[in-house]
Amino acid sequence: MRHAALATVAAVVVGWPWAAPRYFVFLASLIAINAIVAIGLNLLSGYTNQLSFGHAGFLAIGAYAAAILTIRAPALPVPATLLLAGLVTAAVGLALGVPCLRLEGLYLAMATLAFGFVVVEAILNLEWLTRGNDGLRVPAARIGPWILATDTARYYLVVAVAALLIVAAVNLSRTKTGRALLAVRESEIAAQASGVNLAAYKTLAFVVSAFYTGVAGGLFALVVGFLSPDSFDVFLSVDFVAMIIVGGLGSILGSVVGAAVITALNDSLAGFQNYRPLIFGAILVTSMLFMPGGIASALRKIPGAGARPPR
Amino acid sequence: MISRASLLLLLAVTLSALPAAAQQGVSDTEIVIGGSNSFSGPLAFTGDQITKFGVDLYVRVINDAGGIHGRKIRTVYYDDGYRPQDAVANTKKLVEQDKVFAIIIPQGSPPVVATLDYLEENKVPLLFPYQSSPVTRGKRYVLQGMTLSDRSSKMMIDYLAGQRKIKKFAALYQDDEYGKSFLTAFEKDLARFGLKLVGAESVKRGVMDVSAQVAKLQAAKPEVTFLVLVPGPGAQALKERQKIGWTDTLMVSTGPLTDERYLALAGDAAEGVEGLSLWPDPVTSDLPGVKLYREHMQRYFPKNEPNRYSIAGYFAGMLFAEGAKRAGRALTRESLLAALESFKGFESGILPPITIGPDHETQKQGFWVRVEKGRFKQLTDWLKSE
């Protein structure tokens, strides 16, 4: 049953560019990128209860790191570029995570919110590197002789990376580390009493979350092809939080579903022009009222839906 | 298991994706054009006016008169909220899903620049982008709309330093592509007169408090202070100047700033302020094209006040319609471009005769205005930037 479902999903994902119109291949790439961010954010917020409103900042760091690497070191294969983008972002995550250990709840949300603004200001002021407000055009990346010039090529790169990171996240959530993170969410005091090193695990959550978002940022740069500080505003961070709330806090599947729902929603509402923010807000409020645990927990209530109970 | 039905469906989808023989976006009865624009975010008002009350106003006029060679024009717009990545997604959707014939009047440098390469590669005409940075220059499929910043700067400096012999200039500019492209151009044009800016202060986008910058500029004692801002902080600069009693400088607004909104926000602090205007006064001008624009607005959107954003969109609609008309019944993207490139002294009744050369710039002029009793009063004839 589980294997059949997984095989179907895999077949659809692999066959997608051959069945769907070109635009939907691009859209699916965006969904996969956002899914990676949502998983990263969920590891921090859903699993460890550290709310972040600054993930657009991490995305920006990963995106600019990958873009600058692609421009300055065109011979570097894409996987190395993405890995480096993730590591740079993880380093920044570490630098942010340590001081944030002292903050909780609202104060942490404010600190991460400020972080998002600081990143945008930094991009604006590091003009020699980022071209500031003029924006940065990202050339097509390559793996050896293979140039990722089409939407389909980029799509396969994105879904391959996303699949890898999803498997890694699922595995992580089942290890001692995953259980420790969940314990921190349930009660910090109880977790500490059971021997969980609070500081170490909270910092780890920040670093892993930043790494995921940084890799997603690198993919974002390649897929969108143009970066500007305007891309990474606070509303993008809010979109990411909306993804994990709508999808389900503390659920990998929920992160993916939430990313798909919010991305597709944003896209389809663009045609409503002035009413877009209004309709988007109304849908968010409704889904929170009627599905407080997100889509993932609503799915669990349906018998045979295949989703596993949380613990 | 894959059923026969799903195979058929797959086949149908594949077949429908094959390119049709005719030009994309042009059917026997319809021409589809569209654009990504700001309907939310900082430039939502402008986006709304240039598209739904601008382009669409002219489209309704044309369609009610029978369309172009028997084809009605239909427009599709998507909101990007000034975010480049949303502009990219919207533009791809317009080209690949909605199959538009051309992109019309998208707004703002970052969103427009983000889509430039994609549109060039796919040979989709980008018509009259509403932004003033010269990044759109030299593209095969782009026809620039708004007068570019370096042309505006040339007119402003030639008039002030050349005709009025002013020597000391300063600038208060927005810290982005819009502000910086003007600053660079000012410095270059002043150098031709052997002059330099005596002061330049930047304002972050979205910031309303400009008091520190105004105080610093006052200390530099410029005769003229350029305002390269958007209406909110632009009006704030005028009020601040009034508050601190700084009277011995002339404040001059750039083309994109010289609008009714800036005037209304500044109130009596705007009195005596000068600027470069890119459009005739949409409310009071007696030019035949502007009068007709007001009549059309009154007929189709009686609740919407005439303003220079909707007239810019209306003008873009007019240029497109005229180009499509000249291209004839066998309308293609290439024939549209050839038709637009053939414009020589086209009379719009709104701007001076339009000639479109190989530089693809449709607007290259402006005139000087001074604010008197809350309206822009025209001081010069059209200035030239050639």
Domain match, B126 and B271 both? no
3-state secondary structure B283-333: CCCCCHHHHHHHHHHHHHCCCCCCCHHHHHHHHHHHHHHHHHHHHCCCCCH
| pLDDT value of position B10 | 52
For residue A303, the model assigns a pLDDT of 59
pLDDT mean over A111-117: 94
Pick the residue from chain A with its C-alpha nearest to B97.
Answer: A23
In a domain, residue A246? The reply is: no
Residue B160: Cβ-neighbour burial (10 angstroms; 0-12, 13-18, 19+): buried
pLDDT given at position A48:
87
Q: Are residues B214 and B91 in the same domain?
A: no
CA of A136 to nearest chain B CA: how many angstroms apart? Answer: 9
Q: Tell me if A278 is assigned to some domain.
A: no
Tell me the residue type at B51: T
Taking an 8 Å cut-off on Cβ atoms, the answer to whether B89 and A20 are in contact is no
In chain B, which residues have their Cβ closer than 8 Å to the Cβ of A130? Answer: none
Give the C-alpha separation, A229 to A293, whole Å: 33
Looking at the fold, whether B266 and B295 belong to one and the same domain comes out as no
> Is residue B64 located within the same domain as residue B159?
no
Closest residue on chain B to A278 (Cα): B40
Count Cα atoms within 13 angstroms, Cβ side, for A27. 21
CA distance A224 to B333: 25
Q: How many structural domains is chain A composed of?
A: 1
Q: Which structural domain range is residue B252 located in? A: 149-277+367-378
Taking an 8 Å cut-off on Cβ atoms, the answer to whether A270 and B82 are in contact is no
Q: Which residue of B has its CA nearest to A234?
A: B83
For the cut 60, the answer to whether the pLDDT of residue A248 exceeds it is: yes
What is the predicted pLDDT for the residue at A167? Answer: 94
User: Do B47 and B113 fall within a single domain?
Assistant: yes
Q: Which domain holds residue A147?
A: 20-233
Facing A274 at nearest CB: one of B40, B92, B118: B40
User: Would residue B384 count as lying in a domain?
Assistant: no
Nearest to B40 among A134, A220, A277 (CB): A277
B214 and B271 belong to one structural domain: yes
**Cross-chain Cβ contact A22/B17 below 8 Å:** yes
Residue of B10, B44, B89 with shortest CB distance to A274: B44
Residue of A nearest to B52 (CA): A273
A121 Cβ contact partners less than 8 Å away, ≥ 6 residues apart: none
B352-382 pLDDT, tens digit per residue, is 999 998 899 999 999 999 999 888 999 999 9
Beta bridge partners of B251: B225
DSSP B361: B
Helix (H) or strand (E) holding A146: strand A146-147
Identify each DSSP E strand in chain B by its residue range.
30-37, 72-79, 102-104, 126-127, 142-143, 169-174, 197-203, 224-228, 250-253, 274-277, 367-372, 375-378
Is the domain of B273 the same as that of B318?
A: no
Confidence (pLDDT) at B19: 45
pLDDT of residue A147: 85
Average pLDDT, chain A: 89
In angstroms, what CA-CA distances link A69 with A73, A92, A142? 5, 17, 12
The answer to whether residue B351 sits within a structural domain is: no
For residue A310, what pLDDT is reported? 47
For testing the chain A interface, which of B85, B116, B119 should be mutated: the one with the most A CBs within 10 Å? B85
Residue B250 and residue B224 in contact, taking contact as beta carbons nearer than 8 Å: yes
Cβ count within 10 A of residue B185 = 22
pLDDT at A306 over 60: no
* Distance in Å, alpha carbon of A275 to nearest chain B alpha carbon: 8
ipTM: 0.86
**Helix or strand run (H / E) with residue B184:** helix B177-192
The reply to whether residue A228 touches residue B84, judged by beta carbons under 8 angstroms, is yes
Give chain B's count of helices (H) and strands (E).
13, 12
Q: Does the pLDDT value for residue A237 go beyond 60?
A: yes
Say if the Cβ atoms of A231 and B85 lie within 8 Å: yes
* Sequential pLDDT tens for chain B (386 residues): 445 555 555 555 554 544 444 789 999 999 999 999 999 887 888 999 999 999 999 999 999 999 999 999 999 999 998 889 999 999 999 999 999 999 999 998 889 999 999 999 999 999 999 998 888 898 999 999 999 999 999 999 999 999 999 999 999 999 888 898 899 999 999 999 999 999 999 998 778 899 999 999 999 999 999 999 988 899 999 999 999 999 999 999 998 888 888 888 898 999 999 999 999 999 989 999 999 999 999 999 999 999 999 999 999 999 999 999 999 999 999 999 999 999 999 999 999 999 998 899 999 999 999 999 888 999 999 998 87
Q: Do A235 and B86 touch (CB under 8 A)?
A: no
pLDDT tens figures, A4-40: 888 999 999 998 999 888 899 999 999 999 999 999 9
pTM of the shown model = 0.87
- Chain A interface residues facing chain B, Cβ-Cβ under 8 Å? 18-23, 26-27, 30, 124, 133-135, 137, 220, 224-228, 230-231, 233, 235-236, 266-267, 269-274, 276-277
What is the average per-residue pLDDT within A273-300?
A: 84
Are B177 and A272 within 8 A, CB to CB? Answer: no
Does one domain contain both B63 and B172?
A: no
* Alpha carbons B176 and A195: distance in angstroms, whole number: 52
- Are A168 and A151 spatial neighbours (Cβ–Cβ below 8 Å)? no
Residue B182 maps to a domain: yes
The span from the first CA to the last CA of chain B, in angstroms, equals 68
> Which pLDDT score, from 0 to 100, does residue A299 have?
78
SS3 B22: coil
Q: Are B160 and B183 contained in the same domain?
A: yes
Which residue of A230, A266, A268, A280 to mutate against B (max B Cβ within 10 Å)? A230
A199 Cα to chain B: minimum distance (Å): 36
Domain shared by B256 and B179, yes or no = yes
Query: How many CB atoms are closer than 10 A to CB A95?
Result: 13
Return the pLDDT at B64. 96
Q: Give the per-residue pLDDT at B131.
A: 92
Note whether residue A107 is domain-resident: yes
Residue A309 has a pLDDT of 47
The CATH number of whichever domain residue B245 belongs to comes to: 3.40.50.2300
